[in-house]
Structure 1
Amino acid sequence: MSKKISVIVPVYNVEKYLSRCLDSLVNQTYSNLEIIIVNDGTKDKSMVIAERFAQKDPRIKIIHQENAGLSEARNKGLQYITGDYVAFLDSDDWLEKDAYAYMLRLLEDYGADICVGAIRRTAQPLPFENSQKPKENLLTQKAYAKKYFKIGSQSIEYYVWNKLYKRQVVEGIRYPKGFYAEDVPTTFRYILKAQKIIVTDKIVYHYFSNEQGLTAQFSSKHFDVLKGWDIVLAEARKTGSPDYIAWAEINRQRADFALLTEISLSPQFNSLKVSFKKEIETLSQQLKQNKSALLRAPLPFNRKLLIRLYASHYFFFASLINRLTKIKSVVKK
């Protein structure tokens, strides 16, 4: 255990969940950890809990800042890392007990720069067993970038917290300040600094599906994902790689479609179409302009069908789909 892992845990109003998160961290089978808790101006009793853990565990250091958001909390934590490897853990989530021991072993065995673990999404913190032998796949930067851009894949790869990084990968990179979906451009920047990435299907990270969380209900912040993909496109153009540029362009176009779909499926659709009428009209117009390119892209048939429908008359078909979704929900009950 000569290699140290620095783990950054931003904390803001998570008193209900923080003990579970920190329990999973301090009880990791790999003990050479540096645990950096960043108090992002929390207003509840989260710091009482954090201080209690810190008093018992000298590996924990607590950094305080005025509330500035998740991006700035991670940036603050990165200023204090001293480890050979770096990980991020959101304070309402938790880890498998051997998460870091396993991911570190993979990094060293394969000589990789980033290890990507599997995620379990759950609203219930029930016992879980990893019974099957995990599959491991070593990828080049370009092969993993292809997965990140969903070329021939539909997995979501831009999360930063189900990964373990060599310190050199994260150094010098900061999260964009003040907007939602900060993972999208930051993960791409990390990929560009990695040559080999080891991917495993072993679940290492438990993502808490929090109905009260930021992603639970659609808000104006969700439009920030467009800024994220704008940054990715700019970064791709800097590389000069025709593939990266083409993949970034199609994903920027897909982001418009993804937002329109999210709005159409929202239980608040009727109010959203009024509150964000101007934004929806802009997205719809852009979808019409990019329809041909999207239909040529390697997308599933059902998405291409939605693209055709939304591009022809968004409000009509979105309303229809929203009603059908509600009927389906009622029938299931």
Structure 2
Amino acid sequence: MNPTVSIIVPVYNAEATISRCIESIINQEYRDFELLLIDDGSIDSSGTICDRYAAEDSRIRLIHKENTGVSETRNMALDLACGTYLQFLDSDDWITPNATRLFVEEAERYHCDMVISDFYRVVGKRVAQKGDIDDDCVLTQEEFSAHMLQNPADFYYGVLWNKLYRRDIVEKYHLRMNPQISWCEDFMFNLEYIRHAEVFYALQVPVYYYVKTKGSLASQGMSISKTIKMKLMVFEYYNNFYKHVLDEEDYEKNRLQVYRFLVDAAGDGAVPPSFFSGSKKLGEERNSVSQEVVAGEGILMDDYRDRKLLDYYLEPIAQKNNLTLGEVRLLLCLSQLRHIGTRKEIADFAGITVRSLSLLLQRLSLKNMLKYEENRTTKELKITFLPLASPIQNEIAAAQSNFEQAKYAGFTEDELIQYAALTEKIKNNIQKIL
């Protein structure tokens, strides 16, 4: 039976980084994938490292070939791929543990032809989140192209690795990389794919770590005349793309915007000055977990593990909806309370201070998630969830389901029944005392 996702990684002289890349893939929460490692004639130990991983994991398909370049290497992988979806990585980058799961969930929830995500840009020991589309909704081809028009030559749109593609579209139109192009070849592939796609979704959760190690065309030794010729060739393709997706009147209105591509492309992937002011130390960009405590024993250790596992599934909801993790936690707490009590009672249930609760309620109110009022006599709160909170509550319910599936993975049906019975007995024992 074919896998749901084919993950493609071209490998060339990446001995220092390929293990990190592969580890991030084989340790994905989502398990139904094949990993296509195509060794493009590496002359270091990359091939040997790939051999070791392929021998240990049956999901890995490894091909060793003569060096022909990244485009032909990706094309070979596309010829071999069997998945419903296609996902790409570069060998010096890596992905978050939930990357493939989030891609597939959104693709299937919205019946997408393409899911595009935010990513982390890594420079040395610093990391910053990068995205472009703020719309939390399904986009048509015209709407997606309009967003792209605002930031021509942006890595967000140009690269392969922050996107999930449908393989049937790629095969129906026989879309492949152009081996004659060594700059923006992936962008040209994307433009051709977008021409045939209809439904797009922007996932505002960073799932990819892009390491800035790739050089510009000049640093690759390409002559100025050849560089200019290649960039003009790509621009012509880009220009023709907008002539195709826009009618004649709209194209004329946006002609100057289209021509901005030539100016923006001159940056050739340079790190913007704003990167460092908005960056964090690598490792601090996600919710932290103490591995020592996770491995510990004791009542408080159990509580910590449960809380951190739940946070792991709530964090993408916060990132996606421009909320803090605390705000999402409170939405979960409020949705589980049968009776909304006083601030003190709610804060106690949520495990936060009354002051923190008040601040979170204010923020959620300002974000039109809920409204609340306090009874002057009883001090009890009346909380009403607003329409904007409804889709987030649905996502929280899905996160709870993922949490339970992860926590009880490997349990048999009989074990689950027995566990439920024992848990109920423990709850009754505690209720008798409290």
Matched, 1:36 2:52: no
Residue in 2 that maps onto 1:204:
207
Question: Larger RCO: Structure 1 or Structure 2 (Cα < 8 Å, ≥ 6 residues apart)?
Answer: 1
CA offset at residue 11 of structure 1? 0.6
Matched residue of 2:8: which SS? strand
Distance in 2, matches of 1:11 and 1:54, equals 14
Name the residue aligned to 2:184. Answer: 181
SS in structure 2 of the partner of residue 257 of structure 1: helix
* Structure 1 position 28, deviation (Å): 0.5
Q: Which amino acid aligns with 1:115?
A: V
Map Cα deviations across residues 159-218 of structure 1 (whole Å, 9 max, x no partner): 1110111112322101111322102211111111211101011011110112xx333964
1:94 offset after TM fit, Å? 0.4
Q: Do the aligned partners of residues 15 and 255 (structure 1) sit closer, same or farther apart at CA in structure 2, a change above 3 Å counting?
A: same
Equivalent position SS for 1:227: helix
1:253 aligns with 2:253: no
Q: Distance in 1 between matches of 2:234 and 2:255?
A: 12
The one-letter code of the counterpart of 2:9 is V
Q: What is the letter of the counterpart of residue 232 of structure 2?
A: L
Distance 1:59 1:155, change over 3 A: closer
**Aligned residue number for residue 215 of structure 1:** 216
Structure 1 residue 73: Cα displacement: 1.0
1:37 and 1:248 map into 2 onto residues whose CA distance is: 41
Deviations 1:63-110 (A, max 9, x none): 233222111111111000111111111111100101010110001111
**Equivalent pair of 1:147/1:153 in contact (CA under 8 Å):** no
1:14-69 CA deviation, whole Å, 9 max, x = no partner? 11110000000011100111111111111111101111110100111112332221
Question: What is the CA distance between 1:4 and its match in structure 2?
Answer: 1.3
The structure-2 alpha-carbon separation of the partners of 1:17 and 1:233, relative to structure 1 and needing over 3 Å to count, comes to same
Distance 1:245 1:50, change over 3 A: farther
Match of 1:117 in 2: 117
Change (3 A) 1:107 1:247: farther
Counterpart of 2:237 (choices 227, 231, 240) is 231
What are the superposed Cα offsets for residues 107-147 of structure 1, whole Å, 9 maximum, x if unpaired? 11111111111110013478999xxxx98331111111112
Q: Does the 8 Å CA contact 2:121/2:127 hold for their aligned counterparts? A: no
The verdict on how the C-alpha distance between 1:246 and 1:9 changes in structure 2, with shifts beyond 3 A counting, is farther
Tell me the secondary structure at the aligned position of residue 16 of structure 1: coil
Distance (Å, rounded) in 2 between the aligned partners of 1:175 and 1:199: 23
CA contact (8 A) 1:114 1:197 kept: yes
- 2:216 counterpart letter in structure 1: T
Secondary structure of residue in 2 paired with 1:149: helix
Alignment correspondent of 1:165: 165
Q: How many residues of Structure 1 are paired with residues of Structure 2 in the alignment?
A: 260
Helix, strand or coil for the counterpart of 2:80?
coil
Moved more, 94-103 or 214-223: 214-223
Q: Which residue of 1 aligns with 2:57?
A: 57
In structure 2, the residue corresponding to 1:86 is in which secondary structure? strand
Task: Flag the 1:222–1:244 CA change in 2: closer, same or farther, 3 A.
Answer: farther
Which has the higher mean CA deviation after the structures are superposed, 47-56 or 244-253?
A: 244-253
The verdict on how the C-alpha distance between 1:74 and 1:245 changes in structure 2, with shifts beyond 3 A counting, is farther
Asked if the contact 1:147–1:157 (Cα under 8 Å) also holds between the matched residues in 2, the reply is no
Q: What are the ranges of 5 or more consecutive residues in structure 1 without an aligned counterpart?
A: 266-333
Of 192, 197, 205, 1:194 maps to 197
Residues 69, 101 of structure 1: CA spacing in aligned structure 2 closer, same or farther, 3 A cutoff? same
| RMSD (CA atoms) | 3.5
Match among 240, 247, 254 for residue 241 of structure 1: 247
Contact 1:6 1:85 (8 Å CA) reproduced: yes
1:136 is aligned to 2:139: no
- Which TM-score applies when normalising by structure 2? 0.53
Q: C-alpha displacement at 1:241, in angstroms?
A: 3.5
Q: Cα 1:102–1:63, aligned 2, differ >3 Å: closer, same or farther?
A: same
Letter in structure 2 aligned against 1:91: S
Q: 1:154 to 1:66 in 2, by over 3 A?
A: closer
Q: Give, in whole Å, the separation in 1 of the partners of 2:269 and 2:82.
A: 43
**Does the 8 Å CA contact 2:84/2:167 hold for their aligned counterparts?**
yes
Q: Is the 8 A contact 2:155 2:269 kept in 1?
A: no
Corresponding residue for residue 22 of structure 1: 22
Counterpart AA for 1:192: R
Q: Deviations over 1:226-245 (max 9, x none)?
A: 32222233344456733785
Take 1:7 and 1:263, find their aligned partners in 2: how far apart are those partners? 24
Of 140-149 and 82-91, the range deviating more from structure 2 = 140-149
